[in-house]
């Protein structure tokens, strides 16, 4: 654990921001423009989403992640058209106003392409190029960072970390083939995406093993069901559990944490950085 678990992954430009990996933990604030978010924070209106994003930036968020389709296990898929109607007005407004970059949370290349055109400067693909391989081409053509998430839905692990890492390697290779530069790849182990409670706990515990990939790590544990299972708490009672996973994740090498409770997790990250980063 601690700084010994880290490798220098250089820096990545994201819009006007430059993320210097290893210097500190970056905070990604979640803005869900969807009525059925698992976390209970879904927003139906553009103005609500803009106000929430402004608040997150004031609280210390380094990037705003805008999503228009729920990623809960039993989510109801929406069409490309509906997803675009939800996210484009928000991204357009935020990109013009905010000093921090905006990310689009989608697995659909058509949505990502339009979002980048509207001002998004990062693509966060929760299916790690498995659903739409054209996603990597969009990221390459736009020259924007791409978050590749390991998604295990519909399959089971036999040997958790080796298989998870191998899957990320395959997705990274696909991104390289499509022209995405190495500096623009960020990896996410996909906590909650097709993993059991024990597997999610093990991923956080062994997060440093992902350093073999040589790329910055994004960790998204905020309010997720494995925390509720351990603590026997509903979504709105998972703040402390989230804080614990964020702190341990940072100690084990997380470079970005994707969170709902920005102000609280900014403090957790600052304290964790003070302990584990030189």
**What whole-number distance in Å separates Cα of residue 257 and Cα of residue 187?**
12
**What whole-number distance in Å separates Cα of residue 136 and Cα of residue 159?**
27
Query: Which of 258, 264, 277, 278 is an active site residue?
Result: 258
3-state SS assignment for residue 29: strand
**What whole-number distance in Å separates Cα of residue 57 and Cα of residue 61?**
5
Query: Do strands 102-105 and 122-125 pair parallel, antiparallel, or not at all (unpaired)?
Result: parallel
User: Is there a catalytic annotation at residue 211?
Assistant: no
User: Is there a catalytic annotation at residue 258?
Assistant: yes
**What whole-number distance in Å separates Cα of residue 32 and Cα of residue 258?**
12
The answer to whether the Cα torsion of 89, 260, 7, 158 is positive or negative is negative
Query: Which of 224, 238, 277, 278 is an active site residue?
Result: 224
**What whole-number distance in Å separates Cα of residue 244 and Cα of residue 254?**
13
Please say whether the beta carbons of 84 and 77 come within 8 A: no
Region of residue 47 (phi > 0: left; psi between -120 and 50: alpha; otherwise: beta): alpha
Phi and psi at 189, nearest 5°, equal -70, -10
* Exposure b/e, 66-99, CB count within 10 A at least 16 = b: bbbbbbeeeeeebeeeebbebbbbbbbbbbeebe
**What whole-number distance in Å separates Cα of residue 147 and Cα of residue 219?**
11
| Residues labelled catalytic | 224, 258
């Amino acid at each position: 654990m601690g700084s010994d678990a880290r490798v220098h992954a250089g820096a990545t430009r994201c819009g006007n921001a430059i993320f210097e990996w290893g210097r500190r933990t970056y905070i990604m604030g979640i803005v869900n423009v969807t009525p059925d978010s698992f976390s209970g924070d879904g927003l139906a209106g553009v103005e609500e989403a803009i106000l929430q994003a402004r608040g997150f930036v004031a609280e210390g968020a380094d990037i705003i992640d805008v999503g228009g389709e729920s990623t809960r296990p039993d989510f109801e898929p929406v069409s490309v058209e509906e997803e675009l109607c939800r996210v484009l007005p928000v991204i357009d407004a935020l990109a013009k106003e905010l000093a921090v970059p905006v990310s689009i949370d989608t697995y659909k290349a058509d949505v990502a392409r339009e979002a980048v055109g509207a001002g998004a400067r990062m693509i966060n693909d929760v299916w790690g190029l498995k659903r739409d391989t054209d996603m990597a081409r969009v990221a390459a053509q736009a020259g924007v960072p791409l978050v590749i998430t390991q998604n295990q839905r519909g399959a089971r692990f036999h040997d958790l970390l080796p298989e998870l890492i191998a899957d990320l390697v395959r997705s990274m290779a696909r991104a390289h083939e499509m022209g995405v530069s190495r500096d623009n790849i960020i990896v996410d182990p996909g906590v909650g995406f097709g993993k059991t409670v024990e597997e999610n706990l093990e991923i956080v515990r062994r997060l440093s093993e992902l350093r073999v990939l040589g790329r910055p790590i994004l960790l998204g544990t905020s309010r997720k069901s494995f925390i509720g299972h351990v603590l026997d708490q509903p979504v709105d009672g998972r703040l402390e559990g989230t804080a614990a996973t964020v702190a341990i994740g940072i100690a084990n090498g997380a470079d970005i944490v994707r969170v709902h409770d920005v102000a609280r997790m900014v403090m957790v990250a600052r304290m964790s950085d003070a302990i584990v980063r030189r």
